[in-house]
Structure 1
Amino acid sequence: MDAIIDFLINWGYWGILIAAFLAGSILPFSSEAVMLGLLAAGLKPWPLIIYGTIGNVLGSMFNYAIGHLGRVDWIEKYLHIKPKSLEKAQRFMEGRGAWMGFFSFIPVVGDAIPIVLGLMRSNLTISIISITLGKALRYIVLVFSVLSLTSCISPSKNNQRMITVTIEPLRYFTEQIAGNKFDVVTMVPNGSSPETYEPTARQMVKLSGSDLYIKVGNIGFERTWMKKLESNAPHTIIINSSEGITLQKNENGVTDPHVWMSTSNAKIIARNIYKALSEIDSKDSIYFKNNLTKLLEKIEITNINVRECISKNKTLTFLVYHPALTYFARDYGLKQIPIEEEGREPSAAQLQQTISAAKQKKVKVLFVQKEFANRNTEIVEEGTNAKKVEINPLSYNWNKEMEDIAKKLK
């Protein structure tokens, strides 16, 4: 059902028309879910109401036609409406005529009302008018209740202006500079993969209240969703935090988007965020500048600590399932051997090549992220006798994670 809803959302206004028709006729379907998804995607409310109403009325008139044929067996078999529901609808409508079509939006009983109108040969024109009024009112109440609710949601608990970032490490950098001047929210929550995560309708609605959207640059989530995010929040300024960073290719020849896993890159990211904040809030630029200076000092301390840890360790080559440490390895003269091949599962032959290369280099450590751990990591672990160690490049505590990775290279 979720796949069908997502498919219809991609069809825009025609998607809500189809969803509303199905909900009003032959399937137990939620047109409300499609309506809310399209609202979140930035479609205009009145066209959604009109298309939804037309679809739902057409669905009801399909039911009316079935009822008009008098085929109660078809009603039960194809429309899944039990005789008891028909009896309830008949009692509910008794003596009131075609204007009772107004109540066809009511759950359970409402599905049977157009059928009963057909069975009773009720006036077609009045039936259409009454059903349309009820359906339209239902969608109007739904849409404007949601819009009023979202407009009442302040950007943050303290009525602060809001910034949205793609991942938790960006939230760390942004909060260090923004301090208490902005509320910073993350699009891809902790524990989710930025390669596969899909934003919720609530996130899409809330994004429109952000002054800034700070993206990493070109990670999977951004490649898939950035155009939709931009169209959904046309007044939100989009900032590329990787601007000025020289992109690096990993051992498979694929450009690595994990630019934040480098202290030298982190300084560039921090300056890009500071610049963006100063442009949208110039009165607090000195405050941001002071916070930037403190953050750059923290980054340099992190750099010193990482170098110190690595200088004590003899391991210069490591295995990693998802090659997220290209920039980390570049900065500190290390070599990563990735298991994953360009985002795809490696073949048996590729696994053997990886194991052979790791043995030759006498690799002792296999880094894995919980989002990517699978049977292949176990095969490589057994084949190389390397110690499997979990890391989290998506951690909010960026400086601690950088130091922990260095410490685990033993």
Structure 2
Amino acid sequence: MKHLNIWMICLSLCLLATCTNKQQDAKMISVTIEPQRYFAERIAGDKFKVNSVVPSGQSPETYDPTPQQMIQIDKSQAYFRIGFIGFEQAWMDNIIKNNPDLKIFDLSEGMEFVRNEEEHDGHHHEGEHHHHHPGGIDPHVWSSLQGSKVIAQNTLNAFIALDKENEAYYRDNYDRLMGEINQTSESITSLLEPLKGTAFIIYHPALTYLADEFGLHQLCIEMDGKEPSPAQLKRLIETAKEHDARVVFIQQEFDQRNAELIAKEAGCKLIRINPLDYDWNKEMIHIAQSLADGKAD
């Protein structure tokens, strides 16, 4: 963790200089990533401001917050964590230590996790490439239909716990959100159900749960958080050809050179996606449509 001691000194000075107290800002909550803000804002309506800590375009696996962002957390009544993402693994202890009154809610609670050490039928084949996260749990629960419903339910429960007086308001908003999620699910299911067994390539394995739901093969360029060696790249290209992969997904947080090389060598279409986009529903449909279009080419 970069220059942690200097960072903590700067944070302490900023906190001492902050005159705003939590009581004044009691109607704000913080979340880790932008897709959480999508769910939280739809349920919170005008009752809470939602502060997203990891900015768009930054990786929540490795991001270090600024002192100003930590001050925003200090102003928050609660923190909604997504579960096991790298940022939370590295920073939650410090966040809790510096904010002992901060209420913490885990939006992944009740989720059926994919664990890296396990083999999953239809997804773990010789020659495939996998990524391992600390603790063995894949954290990208929001990039799936099941995960979206778990997050929505836990977000509702958190707001009710924080503000019981407005429970009916939050439940009405939750019902509207579930309508959006169900509509999105129908669109994605119609696109992906015919693609069972289809392979796709992605730099960072952000679509593990989506692949698991629809019997897709996710082939990852990243090897345990590192750039692949030339030998690993060669094996990945061979595996992509064997599985007739048609799409290579690129993400703005990661280097594109290897993805471009693989797309050229394997004859795949290069498509930019952003699983961390605020507009969860539009991005999920974009990903599904891209897979369907790739298979049709």
TM-score of the two chains, using structure 2 as the length reference: 0.86
Aligned length: 275
Distance 1:390 1:153 in 2: 42
Aligned to 2:120: none
RMSD of the TM alignment (CA)?
A: 2.1
Checking the alignment, whether the CA contact within 8 Å between 2:33 and 2:53 is kept in structure 1 is yes
| 1:18-167 equivalent positions in 2, closer than 5 A | 34=9, 36-40=10-14, 143=16, 146-148=17-19, 150-151=20-21, 155=25, 161-167=27-33
Which of 375, 396, 399 is the matching residue for 2:257? 375
Between 1:315-324 and 1:360-369, the stretch displaced more is: 315-324
Structure with the greater relative contact order (CA < 8 A, sep ≥ 6): 1 or 2?
2
Matched ranges for 1:8-19 at <5 A: 8-9=6-7
Question: Tell me, which stretches of 5 or more residues in structure 1 are unaligned?
Answer: 11-33, 43-142
Q: 1:327 aligns with which of 209, 219, 222?
A: 209
Number of the residue aligned with 1:244: 110
Corresponding position of 2:219: 337
- Which residue is 1:354 aligned to? 236
Question: What is the CA distance between 1:384 and its match in structure 2?
Answer: 0.4
Task: Determine whether 1:187 maps to 2:53.
Answer: yes
In structure 2, the partner of 1:206 is: 72
Query: Is the 2:34–2:276 Cα contact (8 Å) retained in structure 1?
Result: yes
Kindly state the Cα deviation for residue 152 of structure 1 after the two structures are TM-superposed.
Answer: 9.8
Match of 1:318 in 2: 200
Task: Specify whether residues 314 and 215 from structure 1 end up closer, same or farther in structure 2 by C-alpha distance, changes over 3 A only.
Answer: closer
The secondary structure found in structure 2 opposite 1:318 is strand
CA deviations on 1:228-266 (whole Å, 9 max, x unpaired) are 111122111011100000111355273311000111111
Give the CA deviation at 1:313: 5.8
Residue 377 of structure 1 deviates from its aligned partner by 1.4
Q: Deviations over 1:346-371 (max 9, x none)?
A: 11111111110100111110011011
Letter paired with 2:239: A
Matched, 1:289 2:263: no
CA contact (8 A) 1:204 1:232 kept: no
Residue matched to 1:303? 185
Deviations 1:161-187 (A, max 9, x none): 001000000000111111111000100
Residue 151 of structure 2 aligns with which residue? 269
Larger gyration radius, structure 1 or structure 2:
1
Distance 1:190 1:398 in 2: 13
Partner of 2:141: 259
Q: Percent identity over the alignment?
A: 40
Distance in structure 1 (CA, Å) of the matches to 2:225 and 2:103: 30
Distance 2:56 2:23 in 1: 23
Corresponding letter in the other structure for 1:364: R
- Between the aligned partners of 2:23 and 2:287, the Cα distance in structure 1 is 39
Q: Does 1:216 align with 2:82?
A: yes
1:388 to 256, 270, 290: 270
Q: Which amino acid aligns with 2:179?
A: E
Q: Tell me the amino acid that sits aligned with residue 12 of structure 2.
A: L
Paired letter, 1:355: I
Deviation readout 1:381-406 (Å, 9 max, x if unpaired): 22201111111000000001110001
Q: Is the 8 A contact 1:217 1:257 kept in 2?
A: yes
Residues 153/244 of structure 1: CA separation in 2 closer, same or farther (3 Å cut): closer
Shift in Å, 1:205? 1.6
Q: CA offset at residue 312 of structure 1?
A: 6.1
Quick one: distance in 2 between partners of 1:344 and 1:9?
26
Return the TM-score normalized by structure 1. Answer: 0.63
Please give the alpha-carbon distance, in whole angstroms, between the structure 2 residues aligned to 1:152 and 1:341: 43
Match of 1:76 in 2: none
Q: Secondary structure of the residue that 2:101 maps to in structure 1?
A: coil
Determine the C-alpha separation between the residues in 2 that align with 1:314 and 1:213.
37
Would you say 1:177 and 2:39 are equivalent positions?
no
Structure 2: distance between partners of 1:37 and 1:166: 18
C-alpha deviation, 1:291, in angstroms = 1.1
Q: CA deviation at 1:206?
A: 2.1
> In structure 2, the residue corresponding to 1:349 is in which secondary structure?
helix
Q: Which residue identity is paired with 2:49? A: D
Change over 3 Å in CA distance of 1:9–1:306 after alignment to 2 = closer
Within the candidate set 5, 8, 16, 1:7 is matched to 5
Q: Which runs of 5+ in 2 are unaligned?
A: 117-123, 125-129
Worse-superposed segment, 311-320 or 343-352: 311-320
CA distance in 1, matches of 2:196, 2:106: 37
Q: Look up the SS of the partner of 2:77 in the other structure.
A: strand
Per-residue CA deviation, residues 141-164 of structure 1 (Å, 9 max, x unaligned), is: xx5xx233x449953xxxx70010
Question: CA–CA distance in 2 between the matches of 1:315 and 1:357?
Answer: 14
